[in-house]
Amino acid sequence: MYGGDVETSSDPRARLIESARQLIWDRGYVGTSPTAVLRRSGIGHGSMYHHFKGKPDLILAAERRSAELMQAQLRQIFSGNGSGLQRIVAYLLLERDVLRGCSVGRLAGDPEIIADDELRKPVRDTFTVLVQCLTEAIAEARAAGELDASLRPEQTAAALAAIVQGGYALARAEQSAEPFNHAIQGALDLLGVTADGKTDPAHVVG
């Protein structure tokens, strides 16, 4: 999920950004040193400081890249074919590297990033897009009778986003994808739908 590895690109700036993006995904802000970025990208020290003012500038560019990739994928899913409910299910069942976690979501737990308004902005903006996409799909599904009419779209969207991000945390704590899979199945159960995007006959939709 949220790929876009261009570390083999001939563009030095793109290679630096992608290398930093991969490193902060796994190591966070503190663990992503300029030396590690240079080693991974194969770019010279002088070239790095030609393209970026310093580490914060590079990290911000890497964050923006992760945000751009995630937002593009979300928009692709939620503007795709199928009913509102089917698009919600497609998002929940999206193939993910569960133990690695979300490239944007993991940054929300990074104290250096959260303490800085500019560094936090790509994270905040991406989750805003996620909740908006889910809200619109839930409202559509509710209007079509696919979901319970009592569901509040914005609150339900926030709950689904929290389930996915919380599922990553549970999975990483256990070093097993099983807790994440249980969380996703729980989300489907709460919506009263099956994995193929159809309303569960056992669930009464009001």
Q: What is the CATH number of the domain that holds 128?
A: 1.10.357.10
- First and final C-alpha spacing in the chain: 35
**pLDDT band at residue 203, thresholds of 50, 70 and 90?**
very low
What's the whole-number mean pLDDT along residues 84-99? Answer: 96
Global pTM value: 0.88
pLDDT digits (tens, 9 = 90+) for 95-127: 999 999 999 999 999 999 999 999 999 999 999
Q: For residue 109, what are the domain limits?
A: 12-191
SS3 percent helix, strand, coil of the chain, rounded to 5, is: 70, 0, 30
pLDDT digits (tens, 9 = 90+) for 128-157: 999 999 999 999 999 999 999 999 999 999
What pLDDT shows up at residue 8?
53
Domain count, the chain: 1
Residue 61 lies in a domain: yes
Residue 119: name the closest of 66, 51, 71, 166 by CA. 66
Segments in 32-152 forming alpha helices (H)? 34-41, 45-51, 55-78, 84-92, 111-114, 117-143
User: Looking at the predicted structure, is the pLDDT value of residue 202 above 50?
Assistant: no
**What would the two tokens of residue 10 be?**
């001939």
54 vs 29, higher pLDDT: 29
Q: Hey, how many other C-beta atoms are within 10 angstroms of the C-beta on 44?
A: 11
